[in-house]
Amino acid sequence: MNEQSLSVRDAILQRRSVKVFNGQPVERDTLMTVLEDAKWAPNHGNREPWRLVVACGRELTELHTVLREFGVAKWKDLSEDDLAKQMKKFVTPGAYAFVVVSEDVRQKERLEDFAAASSYIQNAQLLAWDLGIGACWKTPPFLDAPKFREALGVKKAERIISMLQFGYFDEMPKAKPRKSVEEFVTFFGSK
């Protein structure tokens, strides 16, 4: 762990989505600490509506095979070299966490559960960042593919809301400009 942790404000302002990882594995204990601590996300009624399918260490090889299968389907017209370049974004993260949420039939609860799981994901990204580990929340279309869901053991009434990649990186991602608060805030009663 870092000897000097970031303040909450610094963590929020400094964290970046890392899309280029260096291939260094994330230690299982480190990842589990991040995922354990992230559970303190706000969630209505303490339902903790998420579950995770995780790959790090030995599981990565099997996951890469599954991801390659879905990449091949998407990039079927690419040469082997070009396919390998495309697959680099899937094989260089040091760990994965797929966040799965039950699809409650009640709309209010379903929305609350999605919001809670999103808070969990943000917590995990901030906690990883504090340890020098980058993360990126991705939602590729194949998350809803029946064969992919089956490979992850996702049940009929569940939804994968995130393919969360973790890993170490060599280059700090650049910050993209954000809207000014005046662009998205209006005060009640003003027109």
83 occurs within a structural domain:
yes
CA gap 133, 175 in Å, rounded:
17
Q: Residue 170 is part of which domain span?
A: 8-183
Number of domains present in the structure of the chain: 1
The two structure tokens encoding residue 184? 């998205």
The two structure tokens encoding residue 14? 């400094």
Half-sphere exposure of 102 (CA within 13 A, CB side): 8
Look up the pTM and report it.
0.89
pLDDT tens per residue across span 141-169: 899 999 999 999 999 999 999 999 999 99
**Cβ atoms 134, 128 nearer than 8 A:** yes
Q: What is the pLDDT of residue 71?
A: 67
Rg, C-alpha atoms of the chain: 18
55 occurs within a structural domain:
yes
3-state secondary structure of 60: helix
How buried is residue 63: exposed, middle or buried, by Cβ count under 10 Å (0-12/13-18/19+)?
Answer: buried
Distance of CA 7 to the CA centre of its chain: 22
Mean pLDDT calculated for residue range 165-187: 91
Q: What is the pLDDT of residue 44?
A: 85
Is the pLDDT score of 191 beyond 90?
A: no
61 occurs within a structural domain:
yes
pLDDT tens per residue across span 22-76: 999 999 999 999 999 999 999 888 889 999 999 999 999 999 989 888 766 677 7
Q: What is the pLDDT of residue 73?
A: 66
H or E element at residue 166: strand 158-167
38 occurs within a structural domain:
yes
Q: At 3, is the pLDDT very low, low, confident or very high (cuts 50, 70, 90)?
A: low
3 occurs within a structural domain:
no
114 occurs within a structural domain:
yes
How buried is residue 53: exposed, middle or buried, by Cβ count under 10 Å (0-12/13-18/19+)?
Answer: middle
Mean pLDDT calculated for residue range 72-97: 84
Q: At 1, is the pLDDT very low, low, confident or very high (cuts 50, 70, 90)?
A: very low
Q: What is the DSSP string of 3-39?
A: SSPPPHHHHHHH--B------PPPPHHHHHHHHHHGG
Q: How many residues does the chain have?
A: 191
Q: Which CATH number belongs to the domain containing residue 98 in this structure?
A: 3.40.109.10
Q: Give the residue with greater pLDDT, 145 vs 79.
A: 145
Q: What is the pLDDT of residue 126?
A: 96
> What residue type is 72 in one-letter code?
V
pLDDT tens per residue across span 110-149: 999 999 999 999 999 999 999 999 999 999 989 999 999 9
